[in-house]
Amino acid sequence: MYCLYDYKQTDLYHGINRTDEYYQTVKNLKLPLHQRKRQWPTIEQFWTSTEPKPFKLSADDQADWRKFRKWLSLRLRELTPQTKSFYEINNPKYVDEVNMSHGIWDQKAVFCQDAIAFNYDFTFHMSEAELKAYKGPMPEKFEVPKQFDLQKATRLKLDKDAIKLAQMEQEAAAQEAAALNKEM
pLDDT in tens, 140-149: 877 777 778 8
User: Looking at 19-28, 57-66, 140-149, which range is the least confident one?
Assistant: 140-149
- Where are the chain's structural domains? 2-83, 84-154
pLDDT of 147 = 78
pLDDT of 70 = 93
Q: What is the mean pLDDT of the chain?
A: 83
Q: What letters, b where the CB count within 10 A reaches 16 and e where it falls short, cover 50-71?
A: eeeeeeeeeeeeeeeeeeeeee
pLDDT of 177 = 92
pLDDT tens per residue across span 69-118: 999 889 888 888 888 887 788 778 777 666 555 555 566 655 555 556 66
Q: Where are the alpha helices (DSSP H) in the chain?
A: 11-14, 20-23, 26-30, 43-48, 65-78, 86-98, 128-133, 160-183
